[in-house]
Structure 1
Amino acid sequence: MQGPVTEPTEGPPPPSALPDIPTEPAVSQVVTGRPLRRMMACAAPAHLSVALVWGAVPSILLALQIQRTVGEGAKVGSLALVTTVGAIVAMVAQPVAGAVSDRTRSRFGRRTPWIVAGALTGGTALIVMGFSRSVPAVLAAWCFVHIGYNFAMGPLSAVMPDRVPSAQRGKYAAVLGLGSMGGSLLGQTLGAVLEDHITLAYVLLASFSITAVSVFVLVNPDRSNRDVPREPFRVAELVRGLLPHPRKHPDFFWVFVGRLCTYQSYFLVLGYKLYILQDYIGLGDEAISRVPALAGAGVAGILPSTLVCGPLSDRLGRRKPFVVASAALVGCAMLVPLAVPTMGGMLTMAFLVGLGFGCFQGVDTALISQVLPSRDSFARDLGVVNIAAALPQALAPAVAAAVVLGPGGYQALFPAAAAFGVLGAVAVLRVRSVR
C-alpha cells in the first residue's frame, strides 16, 4: 500500500518520519478494487446533493426570499445578517460533528449514524425554511440547516482518509470535486428555474439530499467499531483545536489558510452574483434568467480540469503545483468583469474560475488528507479544515455587502476576490511535507 509521495533526496523528511502526519488510519478500513469504485460512484451524488443546497440557497433562493420579505432597501443588510449568523453556526458545527463521530462506537461504525441524522435534520430544517415568512424565522431555520448538513458532511468527508488508499486519493478527490462543484453550479440553475416556487425548491433539495446520503451509507456500510476503545471527549481540547496550530502542525495550518483564501475568492463574487448581475452589470429583472448561463460556463471549465487534474496528480505524485496554480487562476480570473463589465465578461470569468476551481477541488482535498495531524481524529481535523470551505460560502454575502456598501461599490469586489486567490496560492507554497 503506497503512502503519500514525498521528496526522495531533499527537503523535509518523509511522512513516515513525521509522527503528526498520517498515511492510513490507525485501524485499517481501507477498501480497494470494486468496493472502492462502488464507494466513489455513491460518494459523487451524496456530495452533489448537499452541494445543491449550498449552490441554490445562499446566493439565489435565500437572496430572493429575503428580498421578497423585506424589500429592496433592506435586502443587503438582512441577507448579511442571516448568512453571518449561519456562518458562525457552521464554524462550530463542523469540528464538533467530527469530534463526536471520531468517538462514536456503534454496530454501524462511527460515521454512519451522524451522516444519516445530519441529513435528516438539515433536510427537515430546509423544508421549514421554505414555509418561513419573516427574517427571524428564516434565520432560525437556516441555522438548523447548517447544523444538520455540517453534521452529515463532516463524517462523510472523513470517509476518504478512513477508507481510501493514499495513492488513490487524487482520483477520489476528483470524484468528490465533481459532485461538489457540479452540485453548486446545478444548484444555481435550479434556484433560477424555481425562483417563483421557493418552497418547492426547498422540498426537492431536502428530499434528494436525504435519499442520496442514505444510498451511500446503505451501499457502502461501515464496519462495527463497538470493540474499539473510546477516547474521552474533552471540551477544552476541542476548543483549542477549532483552528490549526501554526507551530505544532504547520502544513495543516497552511492548507487551511490556502483553502480559506481560495474559497473566499470564489464565493466573494460568485456567491453574490445575482445582485452583481442586477446592479453592476445592469440587467435588473433579467438577471435571474442569466444565472443558468453563468452556471453553464462554470461547468464547462470545471469538468475537464477536475477529471484531468485529480488523477494526474496521483500519476505524477505531486499535489502542490496543481493547487498553487489553480488558486492563482481563480484569483486572476476575478479581474475580468472589472475590465469588461458586461455579461460576456461575467461568462469569461465564470469559465476561467471553473477551470481553476475544478482543479483546486480535484487535488486540494487529496493534499489535505496527507497533512492531517492525527490518525485517530480524521473527522475532527477535516471538520476543522472544512471550516475553511464552509465559512467563505456562508460569509461571502456579508463580506461582499461590506465591500459594496463602502466607497468602492461593486468595482471593489473584484480586486478583493483576486487578492484572496493569490494569497491562497502563496499559502500552499509553504507546505513542506507533500510535493
Structure 2
Amino acid sequence: MTASQTEHKKNGPEPPKGAISAHDAIEALANQPITMAQRVRFLAGFLLCGILWYAPFAAAIGILLPQRFLDDGVGNPTALVAQLNSIGAFVALVANLLWGTLSDRSRSRFGRRSPFMIIGAALAGLFLWLTSVVGSPALIILCWCGAQLFLNMLLAPFLAVLSDRVPENNRASMSAAYGLGVTVGQSVGQIVGAQLIHNLGFGILLSGVLLGVTGLLVVVIWPKEPSAQNLPRTNEGFGSLIKAFTPPTKNCRDFYLALFGRLFMVTSMYMIVNYQLYILQQYIGLDATGSAAVLSVTAVIIMVASLIASAVTGPLSDLIQRRKALVIGAAVIIAIGFLIPAFAPSIWAMYAWSGLYGFGYGVYNACDQALNVDVLPSKAEAGKDLGILNLSNTVGQMAGPVATSIIVMAFDSYQLAFLIGAIVLVVSCVFIALIRKAK
C-alpha cells in the first residue's frame, strides 16, 4: 500500500472530483464503506458529544438555574424557567437553520463541519458560564440565548455528519451512540447538578468548561474530515443564498411527517423533564434536600434504562432496517410512564416514571436521527434540512415548558400536565406511522 493510499484510508475517502453535483459528490462519499477502526472512532465521537453538551445543559436548566431563581427570591420561578426555555429555544430554532445552511455551503480545507463545531462549542461554553456571573433575570436570559446560539453552531454541523460520512447500514448504531451520550449526559447533569445545588457558581463554571471543549475533542476523535475544497460549489449570488434557507418543497412528504412526529414527542417530554425539581417540591411535597436526593436516584434510573434500551435498539435497527415501529414503541412506553405519577403522586411513582421514560427515551434516541436521515430530500443540503428537522427539537423544548407553565398557572395541577403529555405522545405516533420512505 502506497503512502497516499495509507493516508486515504486513515482520513477517509476524498470527495469525488469531476463535473458532478454537490449532491452526487456527497452521496458517493457517504456511501463509501468505513473500516472497523473508523466505525469505533465515529461511535466514540457521537457518544462523547452527547454526554459533554447535554450534561452541562441538563445541570443548568434542570437544577442549577431553577434553584438560583428560588434562592434569589424570584416571584414566579416557574414562569421564569418557561421564559428561559422558550426564548432560548426560539434562538436555537433560528441558529439551527443558520449554521446548518452555512456549513452546507462551506468549502473549507478543514472540512464543511469541523470548524463550526470547534468554534461553536467554545463560545457556547463561555455564554453558559456567564449565566452564573450576571445579576438580573434579563441578563441571564440574554446569556442563555447566546449559549443556545452557539450550541447549535456545534450541533447542526455535528448531526449533519451522520448523513455526510456515515453509511446507511451504520446510522442507527451511530444514532444510538449519540442517544446513549445524551441520556448519560442528562443523568450525569442531574446528578452533578443535585450535588452542587448549594454551590451554583462552581456548578455552572464546570458546565461551561465541559461544553467548551466538546467540539475540539469530537473532531480529534473522529476520522479526519476530508477537505471540502474539491466539492462542487453552489451558486454564490444573493438569490441562491436566500434559496439555501428555503425549506424543501419536493420529495418532502415524509420529511414533514417526521418533523411533526418529533415535534409532538419532544414537546411532551419537555413538559415534564425540565420541571422535575418543581414537581418534587410542589406536587410530591419534598423540600430542596429531599428533592435533590430523589433527583439523583431518578437520574441513575433514567441512565441505566436508557443505556440498556439504546445498546440493544441501535444495532437491532441497523440489522432489521426498521425505524418507525421502534420510534412509535418508544412513544407508547413514555406515555405509560406519564400516567403513573398522574394518578399516584409519590416518590415511587416518579421512580417508575423515570424507568419507563428512560427506556422509551433510549429506544427513541437510538432510531430517531437515523429515521431523520432516511427521509432527507437532498444529501447536499443535509445540514440545512436536518437543521429544519431539529427545529422540532427546539420548538418542542419551547412549547413543552410553556404548556406546563400555562397548565400549572391556570389549574394549579401538575397532574394535568402528565395527562396532556401522554395524549401529545399518542399524536406523535400518528405522524410517524404515516411515513412511507422509511420502514
In the superposition, the TM-score normalised over structure 1's length comes to 0.90
Aligned to 1:351: 355
Quote the offset at 1:87 in angstroms. Answer: 1.2
**Hey, what's the Cα distance between the residues in 1 that align with 2:126 and 2:49?**
17
Task: Report the counterpart of residue 424 of structure 1 in structure 2.
Answer: 428
Aligned length: 410
- Report the counterpart of residue 249 of structure 1 in structure 2: 252
Structure 1 residue 152, shift from structure 2 partner: 0.4
Query: Which amino acid is 2:262 matched to?
Result: R
Give the aligned partner of residue 14 of structure 1. none
1:262 and 2:265 correspond: yes
What SS class does the counterpart of residue 348 from structure 1 fall into?
helix
Q: Does 1:237 align with 2:236?
A: no
Aligned to 1:403: 407
> Secondary structure at the residue paired with 2:430?
helix
Deviation at 1:340, TM superposition (A): 1.1
Query: Which residue of structure 1 lines up, in the alignment, with residue 390 of structure 2?
Result: 386
CA distance in 2, matches of 1:213, 1:284: 38
Note if contact 2:63-2:194 (Cα within 8 Å) is conserved in structure 1.
yes
Tell me the alpha carbon deviations over residues 355-391 of structure 1, each in whole angstroms, 9 at most, x when there is no partner: 1111010011111111111110111111111121233
> Quick check: 1:47–1:180 contact (8 Å CA) kept in 2?
yes
Q: For residue 28 of structure 1, what is the aligned residue in structure 2? A: 29
| Cα pair 1:55 1:183 within 8 Å, conserved | yes
Name the residue aligned to 2:179. Answer: 177
Q: Which range moves more in the overlay, 422-431 or 26-35?
A: 26-35
- Aligned amino acid, residue 186 of structure 2: S
Q: Is residue 314–residue 366 contact of structure 2 (8 Å, CA) maintained in 1?
A: yes
Does structure 2 conserve the Cα–Cα contact (< 8 Å) formed by 1:262 and 1:331? Answer: no
Q: Which amino acid aligns with 1:308?
A: V
- Tell me the secondary structure at the aligned position of residue 382 of structure 1: helix
Equivalent residues in 2 for 1:46-65, closer than 5 Å: 46-65=49-68
Gap runs ≥5 in structure 2: 1-22
CA contact (8 A) 1:257 1:427 kept: yes
TM-score scaled by structure 2? 0.89
Change (3 A) 1:166 1:177: same
Contact 2:124 2:151 (C-alpha < 8 Å) held by counterparts: yes
Asked if 1:366 corresponds to 2:356, the answer is: no
Shift in alpha-carbon separation, 1:271–1:153, aligned structure 2, 3 A? same
Aligned partners of 1:69 and 1:240: how far apart in 2? Answer: 43
Q: How far does residue 307 in structure 1 lie from its aligned partner after superposition? A: 0.6
Partner of residue 72 from structure 2, selected from 69, 74, 77: 69
Deviation at 1:67, TM superposition (A): 2.4
In the TM superposition, residue 42 of structure 1 has moved relative to its aligned partner by 2.3
Choose from 146, 162, 165 the match for 1:163: 165
Conserved 8 A contact 1:24-1:161: no
* Alpha-carbon distance in 2 for matches of 1:201, 1:165: 39
Work out the CA distance in 1 between the residues paired with 2:244 and 2:132: 34
- Determine if contact 2:42/2:174 at 8 Å carries over to the other structure: no
SS at 1:400 equivalent: helix
Q: Which moved more, 1:327-336 or 1:142-151?
A: 327-336
1:277 pairs with 275, 280, 294, which one? 280
Change in 2 beyond 3 A, CA 1:432/1:408: farther
Q: What SS is found at the alignment partner of 2:108?
A: coil
Question: Match for 1:267: what amino acid?
Answer: Y
Per the alignment, residue 332 of structure 1 pairs with 336
Query: The residue matched to 1:431 in structure 2 has which SS?
Result: coil
Question: Which sits farther off after the overlay, 356-365 or 191-200?
Answer: 191-200
Q: What secondary structure sits across from 1:35 in the alignment?
A: helix
- Alpha-carbon offset, residue 149 of structure 1: 0.6
The CA distance in 2 between the partners of 1:371 and 1:265, in whole Å, is 23
Aligned-residue offset at 1:395: 4.1
Output the CA distance in 2 between the equivalents of 1:96 and 1:27. 25
Tell me how far apart the structure 2 counterparts of residues 33 and 321 of structure 1 sit (CA, whole Å): 28
Query: Over the residues paired in the alignment, what is the CA RMSD in angstroms?
Result: 1.9
CA distance in 2 between counterparts of 1:390 and 1:184 reads: 16
Q: CA deviation at 1:237?
A: 2.9
Q: CA deviation at 1:50?
A: 0.6
1:327 and 1:304 map into 2 onto residues whose CA distance is 17
Pick the aligned partner of 1:111 from 110, 113, 122.
113
DSSP 3-state at the match of 2:363: helix
Query: Cα distance, 1:27 vs. partner?
Result: 4.8
Q: Which residue of 2 aligns with 1:132?
A: 134
* Whole-angstrom CA distance in 2 between matches of 1:329 and 1:104: 41
Aligned equivalent of 1:304: 308
| Secondary structure of 2:411 counterpart | coil
1:152-174 Cα offsets, whole Å, 9 max, x none, are 01001111111111011111111
What one-letter code is carried by the residue in structure 2 that aligns with 1:273? Q
Whether 1:415 aligns to 2:416 is no
The one-letter code matched in structure 2 to 1:310 is G
Cα distance 1:344–1:206, how it changes in 2: closer, same or farther (>3 A)?
Answer: same
Aligned 8 A contact 2:121 2:151 in 1: yes
2:25 & 2:162 partners in 1: Cα distance?
10
Q: Which amino acid aligns with 2:425?
A: G
Q: What does residue 289 of structure 1 align with? A: 293
